[in-house]
């Protein structure tokens, strides 16, 4: 029964990630529901959705080639550094400490997804005034992604808007590349640390890949408000469940 729950959750996550993002809202809670400790569940969830990031990066390889190679190398180095720090923080976090943070992370990721368009528009309007071109902004976002990658895509797109980027295809290409690199670092660190439950992770990877393929026609057919409503419902629902768990354990 537990494995069936994970298969269904991973399939749904693959569909969501293809349609709009938000697969973490399904994979992480499903792993916790089956009795896995929160820190290991977060690490295993990261591994489970990893193939989707690779597919996205490959799909935007033409746009990625348009970037200056030196700039890409610099951004990659910053991403790796932030990802290593974030993954390291997760490794030293106790299950109790991580459980206390999770509800707020899930709620924040849900709000970021729900108001992502407004955040990007706001960032675009203030790009010249703010323009955080330094390494610090990407490092902080990468740190968050290494620790808990829920809503990472929305945060990255907002950051790129603040940098003054306007071409959505190029922004999505860079987002996919950074997300893949972050996930690769996290998977490596978590694997070395022994935080990944591999039987569950491998089954979920296959199911998420199948869901991603199945999600393509849905992405074309479903109206955007319906997709946003589904993901918001899942995100707020999971946030409420984890807030309740936190209150019960207090």
Rounded Cα distance between 177 and 137, Å, is 17
CA dihedral 135, 141, 142, 145 (to 10 degrees): 180
Asked which of 16-20, 23-27, 65-69 is least confident by mean pLDDT, the reply is 16-20
Q: Where does residue 51 rank: exposed (0-12), middle (13-18), buried (19+ CB within 10 A)?
A: middle
pLDDT at 114: 74
Q: Is the pLDDT of residue 215 over 80?
A: no
**Average per-residue pLDDT in the chain?**
83
For residues 98-123, give the mean pLDDT. Answer: 77
Which of the 8 DSSP states describes residue 36? -
For residues 111-125, give the mean pLDDT. Answer: 69
Structure confidence at residue 80 as a pLDDT band (50, 70, 90): very high
Q: Is the pLDDT of residue 134 over 60?
A: no
SS3 category, 35:
coil
pLDDT at 83: 94
pLDDT at 53: 75
pLDDT at 62: 85
55-65 exposure pattern, b = at least 16 Cβ within 10 A, e = fewer? bbbeebeebbe
Domain boundaries, the chain: 2-249
pLDDT at 125: 66
Largest pairwise CA distance in the chain = 54
pLDDT at 196: 94
Q: Is the pLDDT of residue 108 over 70?
A: yes
- The two tokens of residue 40 are 């290991």
pLDDT at 102: 84
CA atoms within 13 A on the CB side of 53: 26
Structure confidence at residue 51 as a pLDDT band (50, 70, 90): confident
More confident residue, 5 or 52: 5
Q: Single out the residue of 47, 56, 55, 52 nearest to residue 28, CA to CA.
A: 47
Structure confidence at residue 20 as a pLDDT band (50, 70, 90): low
pLDDT at 236: 87
Asked which of 56-60, 125-129, 142-146, 164-168 is least confident by mean pLDDT, the reply is 125-129
193 neighbors 93 (Cβ within 8 angstroms): no
pLDDT at 9: 92
Structure confidence at residue 220 as a pLDDT band (50, 70, 90): low
Q: Report the 10 Å Cβ neighbour count for 229.
A: 12
151 neighbors 109 (Cβ within 8 angstroms): yes
pLDDT at 169: 78
Q: Is the pLDDT of residue 97 over 60?
A: yes
């Amino acid at each position: 029964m537990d494995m069936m729950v994970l298969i269904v959750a991973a399939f749904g996550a693959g569909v969501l990630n293809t349609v709009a993002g938000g697969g973490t809202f399904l994979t992480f809670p499903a792993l916790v529901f089956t009795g896995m400790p929160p820190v290991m569940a977060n690490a295993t969830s990261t591994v489970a959705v990893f193939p989707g990031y690779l597919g996205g990066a490959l799909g935007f390889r033409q746009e990625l080639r348009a970037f200056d190679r030196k700039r890409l190398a610099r951004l990659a180095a910053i991403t790796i550094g932030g990802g290593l720090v974030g993954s390291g923080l997760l490794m030293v976090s106790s299950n109790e400490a991580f459980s206390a943070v999770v509800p707020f992370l899930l709620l924040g990721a849900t709000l970021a997804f729900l108001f992502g368009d407004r955040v990007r528009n706001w960032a675009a309007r203030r790009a010249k005034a703010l323009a955080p071109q330094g390494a610090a902004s990407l490092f902080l976002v990468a740190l968050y992604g290494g620790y808990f990658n829920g809503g990472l895509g929305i945060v990255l797109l907002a950051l790129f808007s603040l940098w003054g980027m306007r071409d959505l295809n190029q922004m999505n290409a860079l987002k996919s590349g950074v997300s893949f690199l972050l996930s690769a670092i996290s998977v490596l660190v978590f694997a070395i640390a022994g935080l990944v439950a591999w039987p569950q992770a491998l089954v979920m990877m296959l199911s998420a890949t199948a869901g991603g393929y199945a999600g393509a026609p849905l992405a074309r057919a479903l109206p955007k408000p319906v997709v946003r409503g589904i993901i918001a419902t899942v995100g707020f629902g999971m946030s409420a469940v984890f807030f309740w768990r936190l209150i019960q354990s207090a």
